Amino acid sequence: MSTFRNLLLLVISTGTALLLAEGVLRLAEPAPKGAITQTVETEAGPYTTLIPDAWGVLAGRPVSVNHLGYRGHPYPPARDPSKFRIQVFGDSHTFGVGAPDDGSYPAAMESRLSRGQSRYEVLNFGVGGYDFGNIEKHIRINVPKYDPDLVILTFHAGDIIETDIIIDRRAAKGLGWGLRIRNALVSNSYLMRLAVLYAAPVLRTVTGITWGTTASEIDEVRSNGPRWQVFKTTVLRMQNQLSRRCARLAVVLFPSMIDFERTPDAELYTLVGSWLQANGIPVFNALPAFRGKKVSQFWATLLDHHPNEKGYAIVGETVADFVESTVPADGQTASAACRRPGS
């Protein structure tokens, strides 16, 4: 009986401690406020987009959407022909969760490119939770409206697996269901968020084994699996769509905010980057810009490891240098020649 009583006391005390820890984390972690996204119906089917003039708080930072429906300065669709226009598409890392409106990486990129002049316009079309299937719809709808010279796609670890889950739900097996269970647990428990964030790097350090979404994506690429094939098809289709509109496509590989010296992103981004380059798509890997830096200084919050303003600034500034290296000094590109009458 005493053994049963001790076991019961252990269960009760452990449960109480976990509930208290959950409560403390909920009090300490900034709660999101306001709705900034909506689901809209299009000819291509329903997809999520930002709500014009919406306001909210994400990762403790105020965020807003301009009256045209994207984040940042509201450049009108009718473009100034003297300006070089860049549209940036992606998920929460493009939108800039973890930073205020002027702290996203597209905003930092525009600031670096301008340097006292206003030859560049950078439009932030990032939407949190997007995969490359949603990005393709977003491009199909918004590129014709804004007529950019350059479109930048932001790639982040997880995009290959997530693209397959959303584009073809029949293929959502194995890791697909695992991700759904994980996401459900993380969305309902702050303790689970804490465990998921910190367990992987600890196990990687102790065992030397890489596991999780990124490791699965590396295997997917190396084996030319179905998810990787869907991803490649989607990107090439976007490249062709943009080429017909005289716009160039480039891809930025955005690093996860985990140990920059041991991150599995390094191998994945080498593989993805090689394929992009082989298909004539300029690619910039932002991971080397973080080498030698302490990762925790770039976390948005304890439980939200999106970058903060400092992390986005590093990406934006280095991507600006990449853009300048691919755009001639006079701002003319193949897209400009394509638009020129008689070309």
**Fold of domain 63-339:** Rossmann fold (3.40.50)
Neighbouring CB atoms inside 10 A of 133's CB total 21
What pLDDT was estimated at residue 341? 44
What pLDDT was estimated at residue 183? 62
Taking a C-beta distance cutoff of 8 angstroms, is the pair 191, 19 a contact?
Answer: no
Query: What is residue 38's DSSP assignment?
Result: E
What pLDDT was estimated at residue 213? 74
Extents of the domains making up the chain: 1-30, 63-339
What pLDDT was estimated at residue 343? 39
What pLDDT was estimated at residue 174? 44
Q: Tokens for 25? A: 């984390």
Strands (E), the chain: 37-40, 47-50, 55-58, 61-64, 84-90, 120-126, 150-156, 248-254, 283-285
Q: How far apart are the C-alpha atoms of 220 and 131, rounded to whole Å?
A: 17
What pLDDT was estimated at residue 114? 85
Taking a C-beta distance cutoff of 8 angstroms, is the pair 153, 250 a contact?
Answer: yes
Determine the distance from the C-alpha atom of residue 153 to the mean position of all C-alpha atoms in its chain, rounded to a whole number. Answer: 9
Q: How far apart are the C-alpha atoms of 316 and 106, rounded to whole Å?
A: 6
Question: Which residues does the chain have with pLDDT short of 70?
Answer: 1, 4, 17-18, 21-30, 44, 116, 163-212, 328-343
Residues of the chain above pLDDT 90, percent? 55
What pLDDT was estimated at residue 43? 74
Taking a C-beta distance cutoff of 8 angstroms, is the pair 251, 276 a contact?
Answer: yes
- Point out which residues pair with 41 in neighbouring strands: none
Neighbouring CB atoms inside 10 A of 85's CB total 20
